[in-house]
Structure 1
Amino acid sequence: MGPRSSHEDEPEENPDHDEFVESLTKFAEERGITVDFNSRVNGKHIDLHKLWNVVTSRGGYDAVSKEKLAWRKVGTDFNLGNTNAAAYAFALKTTYYKNLAAYEIKTYWKREPPPVEILEKLTAKGGDILSRTMENFQPPRSSMANGDSDSGGEEARTPKDEKMDIDEPGSGAGGRSSRGLRQAPPPRQLFQPDVSSSRQTRHSSGHLQSPQPAAPAHAGYNYASSNPNSASFAIANYEPRPPMPLTLRPILTPSNNPALFREKQRLAREARKVELGLISPSTKGMMKPGAGFEGPNIYVRTLQGLRSQVPEEQDYALHHLVKISHERGDKYKFDAFPNLAEGLIEYVLGISSLFYDVKWVIRYSDDEHGINILDGINGTPDILQRIQCLKRVDPPDEMESEDFARKLTKILEAGLTIRNLALLEDNAIYLSEMPQLRDFLSIALNLPMSPAVTELKHYALEIAEQVTKYWKMDESDPLYQSLLTQVNEGHDRGAAYTALRALSRISFNLDDINFLTGVPVSVIRRISDWILLEDEELTHACLDFLYFFTAVPENVAFLLSNAEELPLSSFFGQLARLLQYHSTSSYVRSKTLEKVPITAATDIPNVPRDLLEQFLKYDEPDRSNHWLRSVFEEDENSHITQIALWQAYQYRFTEHTNQQTGLLPAAEFIKNVSSIFAGANAQVVNGASQKFIIKGIRPRHAPMDPKGRVYNRCLWKVPGSSQCGEFLLKPKHMFDHIVYQHLGIDRKSDGLWDLESKSRASQLPPDCFWAGCRHFSRRDGSLPTAYELGMHIKTHLPDQSHKAPLRQKYNRTPVNQKIPLTSQLKSHTSSAGVPKVDPEHGREEQVYYQKYEATASDEVGNAIGLPWGSVLVLRNLARNIPKAAGLLKPDSRAEFSRTAIDTLFGPLKDRLLFVMAYNKPLAGYVLEVLAYIEKGSTIS
């Protein structure tokens, strides 16, 4: 029997306690372990019987371990304290684990506990003692200096036939199919990889289905993202191998290193003795079972697995290559892993075996010949003819078998890996130097029409888009013909779009010119139809292709020679329409006349008779309120004395008052001023004598009616007399007033002016006396007639029947900007031709707004987008039509050129002139187009 617990809370004589100690001691002897009945945590004795009762009441070791902070709660039963509670809780957990875990499995759960090596001899981390068996448990492996091991505590095996769901790096979105792991470059922007990668390190691999089976949690197990031995850790921390400098080493000889050669002779003698059986072989440096080097890192293993021709190893390699190319595609380079690109291309060529009775073999010599032999040195120029000769192998009933689906999935993973890595420029250059890649692209683009190969065709087109800029291709090239076929015969918008981009980038990074010869008429017709669609990306690709195509005069001659089959007129019209694609309107403001401020009026204006009659219809205080609004306006810097304001009110309305409608009292009238004008208030100015004023208002130059219409003053002033000063509302009333009062002309019975008789004036005025005009005095001295005077007076009056057009024409002001009538009446021109302004009415600032219809531009103002692409195509056409005409008809070049220019560009001139005038980003380009049109039209 083991020693009795000395815990103070445990009674001296307890049959249950004694029975527990006896049972635990017997179990420990049978298991071969020692139970520590005197265990202490934080200086306090731990009674194993009490600990057993507390833990089993909570469901056992696994249940307590899975519950958050449960071991801390168990520790409270033993008064371990709150300081450093986490450490005390783990120590208590370890005490239970070392002494009672196996006993719990045997007695509480009635199961056979695992061996001591995988239970008591390991740490207490985790909570999986019930699931720990010899079959499913693997002890943690030791960390090696090479931290790139892919084991990560898991048994490596080939992946299941299921697709991975991998999130975009750095995103929290749910997983998606591995088919779209990396994004293609944005339209019209050539892919430029960022040297300093913006990829974020993945810190969680919980949503990634690794090809190894997930090991159960056990003591010492770490998650893959934090375990330096895991594949995810190796991928996330991958850095490309730096270039190694050339190291020169001296040749070792017995003379310069005698110690080395003596050691070699000693080892040779020992090896000879071992061979003769004189001594036993040395075990120094030998890896013992269960320890030592764990194997190559994930990158080496995938490379070797791909080249091994072992299906399981190839599956493992492709599964991880997709992940690596997605997460480390900006650093993972082909030149650092020899034969990786070759292995991927050889594997993906197996797609033909699923549809044809052929297995492509790449050879790097001229020794073998056959329909299935591809030239790995120079490429296979007759690959299209070979494909046509292949025998089709269709699956029965067009159903995919499980083996077919598995092979297709792995081939797609190989194609996706090539596509992902090709987005890096260094890899694209590496691939462009491989002739077998051209053969693969031609084969992939000419596979039979089937939904199963659609994805692989898209990968092939995206690879071609990245590598064609390093290739020179003519019309006999199989890949060039395959790309044209995708545009001409395909019904896939994405395939046509990518094929156009690949064609446009041929020789882009080379000194050779991309002539784009041999393009069928049907391709040009399709492109001319596509630019009519509201599809900006596809139109971008079409304009890119057309720019390089029309840059060659021979291609423009091809267009003109097939004008009957091509809708060139609508094609040119669509290009012109795209010049203003998504244009935005803007206005540039320019000042034409400075503002002349109005001088403050000194006298309160008299109210015209018609306006006074309107006021008299109201009772007080409405009558005085209308009068105040009519003849005063707010001005924070002006004031008027209260006595002057009261006297003006009395003078105006005294003769129109009676017993029923008397005047307001002075105090009430002054009080109403503040209610009419918010900024006006009564004040007292102290000085030699106090002065009572109304601050914040001033008299108007001309009265205003209740509708807000300002009256106009008659400025007729005959020399030697005072100014007329009569106020009239409408220009017609002003004209009638001048003709009747100042010219002395009466009306006839039919309402017309009697220009012959002068009933009220002995003679007409000798000149125009409107504000010092003197228009007729500047003539030959002859007196004006009544008709001439009348017509001239109208020039001083605005035409209200056409307000907006007159403002827009003479004042160059937008229609929606209102100009007071007074500013139009009071401006006139002096004899010196200098504009004069009536200081009593002033003049508003007169501005001119220039409208622009600009399209998209970059940060420095250069045109971008569809308008820029369309104007470049138009410029090529305008420049090359005369040259193309010479190629078609040498004898009548000038006439043909003029006809083509006039027919195609004639209807576009107005639009081109509009774009040049209103679209600043395109103005320079359109000017070049117009210059080429003018030059082509004048060739003799």
Structure 2
Amino acid sequence: MAPARGPGGKEVYVHEIDRTPEYNEFIQKLTTFHEKRGTSFEPEPRLPTMHGHVNVDLFKLYKVVLEKGGYDELNKVQKAWGALAGELGMYYADNKGMGQLSFQLKQDFYRYLAAYWIHDQHGRDPPPKEILEMQSCASKHGPVLTRTMENFKLSARRAGEETPTRDERPAESTPTSANRASGRLREAPPQRVPFQPDTAPSRQARNVSSHHNTPNSNATQNNFHGNQAQQNHHHLPQQHNPNNPLHVIQAQQAALRGASSSFTPPNSEIASRLGDAVEPRPPISVPLRPVNTPGNNPLEFAKRQRLLKNQAAGFGNIQALTRPVQTPAGGEGPNIYTRCLQALRSGIPAEQAFALNHLVKISYERGDKYKFDSFLGLAEGLIEKALEVGSLFYDIDWQISYSGDQDSSNPGLLDGLDGTSDILERIENLTPKAVLDHLQPADFSNRLLRITEAVLTMRNMVMLIENAVYMAEVCPLKDVLCIVLHLPDLETLVEIKHFALDIAEQVTPWLLLDSSDPLYRTLLAQLDSTDRGTILTALRAISRISMNLDATNKLQNVPVIVLQNIINWLLLNDEELMDACLDFLYQYTAVVANVESLLAAVNMENVVPHLVRLLAHGAKRVKEEKVLEPEKKALCTEEVPPLPFDLHEKLRNTDEPTRCFQWLKILFEEDAESHITQIAIWQAYQGSFGAHAGVRSNLSAADFIRNVSHVFANARAQIIRGPGEVQRFIIEGIRARTAPSHYETREEYTRCQWQMVKGALPKRCNQFFLGGEQMWHHVLTAHLGVPIGENGKIENKEVTTSCDWADCVKYPTPKALKLAELTRHIKTHVPAAQKRPQQDGTELAAKRQRKSYITPAKTMMLTWAETVITSDERKPNVEQQAAGIPLSAVLVLRNIARNVVKTESEEELLKQHETGGESGGWNERLFRPVMTRLFEVMTENKALASYITSLLQLVQTED
């Protein structure tokens, strides 16, 4: 976390939790310790600071308090906890906020770490939780390290005394001006008690004192004797001590009551000893455990009824039922979860409104931990509340019966054990009420709002897999979904219907629904809707039936209109709807009987080409350059290529040092990893011009070496030690070109590779020419002896010759050819015209020039179509796999190709072929027109290649 501003305006460290392995181990120990101790524990308590709420690092707090000497030693220092909060990075600008912060920090240590500190650092058993964690740290009960039950009771009694003791009472002669001078409030004067002499006899019978004590004096005496018995564990005669605070209090109380003949001094010799051994019985905490009854937990009894039926049928034994979670003893009452559950099951409208309002919030905020199995009766309460929607729109009161006996005379009684099989027929026979869509009474709106909140709570909770599995076993849920989805078509009910569809989408993967199931028929009926959201959710719910079970979902008895709608929706430019339709078709076409129904309902010859088009849905053209051979760097040699003839003619009449500069640019280039000896480059320069007549050079070797550094900025003359410790004078940073380059245009010359002499030691022409045209003219005139006319035309006559270009195998031996045919072949050896680099007058053009000593890599550009792909986290080494609409489309095509040949329509089509009809079966008719496209997609799309290969294997048949 970044530093923040503290009270002084400086950047300070803000407290945060360091989740190190030591921290995790410490928190685990604390959790185990508090579980054994039976106290509540919060691993990351929150504290308000000037920078916002922070979570306390209990490990840091524990270590810092140990460094300060422990909890008791830290409490002896004033404002020590405030300074400790500052050390931990907790700040407040004002004293009030800092005081609250330090108190809460002290309270966190006292509640979560004090008992562990005593056990961990001192090896002692901490005091009971009744006198430690269940008490506030602000109570003056003494140090926690030496706190026991006896001194805790004594300190608690002293803290509750209202009358000060004789030692604590200020002297009467103390002037009050000093108090006023110090700024404190004036203390109250001591209470004046009028003297009343005791007129009772000096000795009285024991039975009188024991039977006529006043309640106050008797309670005080018993309390005193009880404390003495706990401390000494035996009874001794009590001696009267006038300085004892308890005796002073009793004397003052007796004086206030006046003279009494029944008052007996507590330490009198004639006092009764019958009450000495009597101690009040401590309160007994009785842990309460809820008992499962059909009223508060009908789900458990429904399970038992089903298990008993299965056992009677021989399908297994009764499984042990889970034991409900017990509320820990000493709690402060039910938490918000239990409070909402009890309010929901109470049936009181106000309580249910409170419960549903909070249940919606809890299901949103704590949906990852809020589970049905932890709160018995919650699912049933929400279902019962949702069933109240029937009375709003119909004259019926839906009730759930867990007896297992169906009462056909009562249409509103639902079967809670196995579900109501004729729920749809009952709904059809209901008479709807006259309800206005946009105008309802307040009571109607409130009731509908509570019902919607109950359905919304179930919808939020089933998003958790554990809750979805739990609700799949609650049979009345399917009846609720059927009832809600068959409500009148009103805009007021759109929201609750969508919630019901969301519940069905999450629950159907754990349900086995046949074609006659009311929920299955209800979901199919939703596909005739015009609401896109309804269609999407219903398609997903149907496609996921039994997805997580071993049984397969056959999706039978789908209406023809539904199949036609699904095919039409595939034509829309709606990816989400298209994906849902393809998922449904994948499940539907997996059954042979369904493929037969699909052939009868729609025109499959139009459907298959569209599915093939979807194989490229969202495809992108991807280009990738593959390296066939990597680039190569030629070895550095001392051999300098000869100067081309045309450049030699230009440079021979050029003055020095310009001629030297241009010669270097033609035959050399920079290379930081290469070098050439000074004698070799000087001899090459002399060989280019010194042997020809008429060429004069007044340039010395030293000036020539200096000119090299002027032409090439990175070249420098050096002396190195060669083999045998012989000195070598070199120029580092340059190397000879493999082919000369024009000093103005920077175009490279091309070497003529025509073999002058063939054999084991062939000799080549090796002359350099600029451009392909000069090379072509050179080969024609010099090597083939073909003259070129004045207008550049050549006579197309027949010649007998061979192509002696190096490594050419086209015409190895002389052959009679037309000159035009021969020249067309020779032009294949001549390089094409090069694109001249831009002349911008800077060194940028030289940097762009390709290095002649580097042979470029041979590459090949590959282009293909790439659709949506994904990676499998469980298999990181596997290449990315196909996903999305293209994958769903190819899977549907593969199901059609596999199952269409097993239908009765296939047999009828083959019989028509025998009587003279079109040859081939359904695969021939459906896939033959798109075969070319399938091969194309298989070639270009690597992710779909394996799927299309399996599809082609099903489609292609042996002749």
- Above 0.5 in TM-score? yes
Q: Distance in 1 between matches of 2:96 and 2:676?
A: 90
Match of 2:953 among 931, 937, 940: 931
8 A contact 2:638–2:677 mirrored in 1: no
CA distance in 2, matches of 1:315, 1:683: 95
- Cα gap change, 1:722 to 1:439, in 2 (>3 Å): closer
Distance 2:715 2:163 in 1: 95
- The alpha carbon displacement at 1:866 in A equals 2.7
- The CA distance in 2 between the partners of 1:653 and 1:471, in whole Å, is 98
Asked if 2 retains the 8 angstrom alpha-carbon contact of 1:743 and 1:765, the reply is no
Letter in 2 for 1:604: V
For these two proteins, the number of residue pairs brought into alignment is: 642
Structure 2 equivalent of residue 892 of structure 1? 912
The correspondence of residues 284-323 of structure 1 with structure 2, limited to 5 A, is 296=334, 298-323=336-361
Which residue identity does 1:846 align to in structure 2?
Answer: K
1:55 is aligned to none
How far apart in 2 are the matches of 1:343 and 1:691? 100
* CA 1:532–1:609: 2 relative to 1, 3 Å: farther
Residue aligning to 1:846: 858
Question: What is aligned with 2:258?
Answer: none
Verify the 8 A CA contact 1:886 1:893 in the aligned structure 2: no
Q: CA-to-partner distance for each residue in 1:69-97, whole Å, 9 max, x for gaps? A: 5999xxxxxxxxxxxxxx99999xx9xx9
Does residue 447 of the first structure (1) align with residue 490 of the second (2)?
A: no
Do residues 875 (structure 1) and 889 (structure 2) align? no
The Cα of 1:374 is off from its aligned counterpart by 3.0
Give the equivalent residue in structure 1 for 2:717.
Answer: 682
CA deviation string 1:186-231 (max 9, x = no partner): xxxxxxxxxxxxxxxxxxxxxxxxxxxxxxxxxxxxxxxxxxxxxx
Aligned residue for 1:683, secondary structure, equals strand
Query: Counterparts in 2 of 1:722-741, with a 5 A limit?
Result: 723-741=764-782
Amino acid at match of 2:509: K
**Aligned equivalents of 2:95, 2:443: Cα separation in 1:** 45
Structure 1: distance between partners of 2:599 and 2:865: 32
Name the residue aligned to 1:516. Answer: 555
Q: Partner of 2:566 in structure 1?
A: 527
Query: Which residue number in structure 2 is paired with residue 915 of structure 1?
Result: 937
| Partner residue of 2:788 out of 732, 747, 759 | 747
Q: Which of 793, 804, 812 matches 1:769?
A: 804
CA distance in structure 1 between the partners assigned to 2:472 and 2:809 by the alignment:
87
Which amino acid is the alignment partner of residue 677 of structure 1?
F
For residues 550 and 471 of structure 1, the distance between their equivalents in structure 2, rounded to whole angstroms, comes to 20
Match of 2:740 among 700, 703, 714: 703
Paired position in structure 1 for 2:226: none
1:858-869 equivalence runs, <5 A: 858-859=871-872, 860-861=878-879, 862-869=881-888
Is 1:797 paired with 2:830? Answer: yes
Verify: 1:856 aligned to 2:869, yes or no. Answer: yes
**Aligned residue runs from structure 1 range 72-221, under 5 A:** none
Judge conservation of contact 1:858–1:864 (CA < 8 Å) in 2: no
Secondary structure in structure 2 of the residue aligned to 1:398: coil
Aligned partner (choices 410, 434, 446) of residue 406 of structure 1: 446
* 1:359-417 CA-partner distances (Å, limit 9, x unpaired): 32333433452443333344334433443443433455832433233222211221122
- Give a deviation string over 1:450-479, Cα, whole Å, max 9, x none: 333222112211211122233333444332
Letter in 1 for 2:900: I
Q: Which letter maps to 2:911?
A: D
- Give, as a single letter, the amino acid of the residue that structure 2 aligns with 1:703: P
In structure 2, relative to structure 1, the CA distance for the partners of 1:521 and 1:653 (3 Å cut) is: farther
Tell me the equivalent position of 1:82. Answer: none
Amino acid at match of 1:362: I
Give the aligned partner of residue 421 of structure 1: 461
Question: More deviation in 311-320 or 768-777?
Answer: 768-777
Query: Is this contact kept in 2: 1:472–1:507, CA < 8 A?
Result: yes
**1:501 counterpart (540, 550, 570):** 540
Aligned pair in 2 of structure 1 residues 716, 875: CA closer, same or farther (>3 Å)? same
- Does structure 1 residue 673 correspond to structure 2 residue 713? no
Q: CA deviation at 1:930?
A: 0.7
Amino acid at match of 2:732: K
Q: Secondary structure at the match of 1:921?
A: coil
- 1:542 pairs, out of 576, 581, 589, with 581
**CA deviation string 1:561-587 (max 9, x = no partner):** 234599525532443333xx4557364
Contact residue 362 and residue 373 of structure 1 kept, 8 A: yes
Measured against aligned partners, the alpha-carbon deviations of 1:751-784 in whole angstroms (never above 9, x if no partner) come to 4324659xxxxxx78644333757655x6x8677
How far has the Cα of 1:445 moved from its partner?
1.3
**Residues 901, 773 of structure 1: CA spacing in aligned structure 2 closer, same or farther, 3 A cutoff?**
closer
Q: Could you tell me how far apart the structure 1 residues matched to 2:378 and 2:592 are?
A: 44
**Hey, what's the Cα distance between the residues in 1 that align with 2:571 and 2:705?**
73
Residues in 1 aligned to 2:289 and 2:654: alpha-carbon distance in whole angstroms: 99
How much has 1:726 moved relative to structure 2? 1.8
Q: Contact between 1:634 and 1:680, CA under 8 Å: does it hold in 2?
A: yes
Aligned-partner Cα distance in 1 for 2:888–2:929: 20
Deviation at 1:146, TM superposition (A): 7.6
Please give the alpha-carbon distance, in whole angstroms, between the structure 2 residues aligned to 1:88 and 1:469.
56
In structure 2, how many angstroms separate the alpha carbons of the residues matched to 1:521 and 1:379?
Answer: 28
Q: Which 5+ residue runs of structure 1 have no aligned equivalent?
A: 1-40, 45-63, 73-86, 108-141, 150-240, 246-290, 758-763, 803-817, 823-840
* Separation (CA, whole Å) in 1 of partners of 2:347 and 2:663: 106
Aligned-residue offset at 1:929: 0.6
Q: Which residue number in structure 2 is paired with residue 360 of structure 1? A: 398
Separation (CA, whole Å) in 1 of partners of 2:101 and 2:566: 73
Q: TM-score, normalised by structure 2?
A: 0.57
Contact 1:356 1:392 in 2 (8 A): yes
878 and 677 in structure 1: CA distance in 2 versus 1, 3 angstrom threshold: farther
Give me the identity figure in percent: 40
Cα distance in 2, alignment partners of residues 928 and 444 from structure 1 = 44
Does the residue aligned with 2:735 lie in a helix, a strand or coil?
Answer: strand
Q: Quick one: higher RCO (CA 8 Å, sep 6+), 1 or 2?
A: 1
